Amino acid sequence: MSILRPREPCSSPQPSAAPQIAGLILAGGQSSRMGTDKALVSWQGTPLLQRVCEAACRCCAMVFILTPWPERYQEILPSQCQPLLEILPGQGPLLALQQGLQKISAPWVLLLACDLPHLQPALLGQWISQLSQLSPQTLAYVPYHAGRWQPFCGFYRQQSHESLSVYIDQGGRSFQGWLSQSSIEGFFPDADSAPMLFNCNTPQDLQIQED
């Protein structure tokens, strides 16, 4: 499959043309580097997962949280967020995306990690408005930053499930590997949107961001 190299975001988004999109938030990691469940870690007085959910709800028609522990987060989830039980926990985020695509019927899925404290719904909306300009063959629209694809704040077409499943069935588990061999389009976040890609993995990360 061809790879469409990263490009600058369109300067004239067309919000009215934006396709239907569902949010899929991953909350199934072990948080080993944080030392505690980072989905529940407070940032500026709000649990990280709740912050991500609230941002996603402002720009997605539906929002799902994929987790092995839905009861753990029940009290902090906005009412419009629907938990999905992760059937194969601990197998990595690529399999989590595969499971989410199996359960979500929206044409596009916005995949988000649960530990992104700087999400801005208005900027996400600008990215969403660009999806309608993509080729029908484009399976994903993913930020490219710091020399890597940034898959946990990226957009995946429902049709990408087939390519993803083939890659996984062949033993693939790397997001970078799958994206690099798939028909995707990338874009370079600008100075305003690049901070949204920061995720909190350690207590030190959390302290730096709050300072």
For residue range 189-206, list pLDDT tens digits in order. Answer: 999 999 999 988 787 877
Domain count, the chain: 1
Query: Does residue 35 lie within any of the structural domains?
Result: yes
Query: Does residue 140 lie within any of the structural domains?
Result: yes
Task: Give the range of the structural domain holding residue 165, as residue numbers without chain letter.
Answer: 20-210
The CA distance from 75 to 60, in Å, is 21
> What pLDDT is stored for residue 208 in this prediction?
63
pLDDT digit string (tens) for 20-76?
A: 999 999 998 876 778 789 999 999 999 999 999 999 999 998 999 999 999 999 999
Query: Does residue 3 lie within any of the structural domains?
Result: no
pLDDT digit string (tens) for 88-105?
A: 888 999 999 999 999 999
> What pLDDT is stored for residue 5 in this prediction?
47
pLDDT above 70 covers a percentage of the chain that reads: 89
Query: Does residue 39 lie within any of the structural domains?
Result: yes
Predicted TM-score of the model (pTM): 0.90
Query: Does residue 9 lie within any of the structural domains?
Result: no
Cα dihedral sign, 118-14-175-37:
positive
3-class state of residue 117 by DSSP: coil
Query: Does residue 4 lie within any of the structural domains?
Result: no
Query: Does residue 96 lie within any of the structural domains?
Result: yes
Cα dihedral sign, 68-78-22-6:
negative
Residue 173: which CATH number? 3.90.550.10
Query: Does residue 123 lie within any of the structural domains?
Result: yes
Q: What are the two backbone dihedrals, phi and then psi, of residue 78, each rounded to the nearest 5 degrees?
A: -60, 155
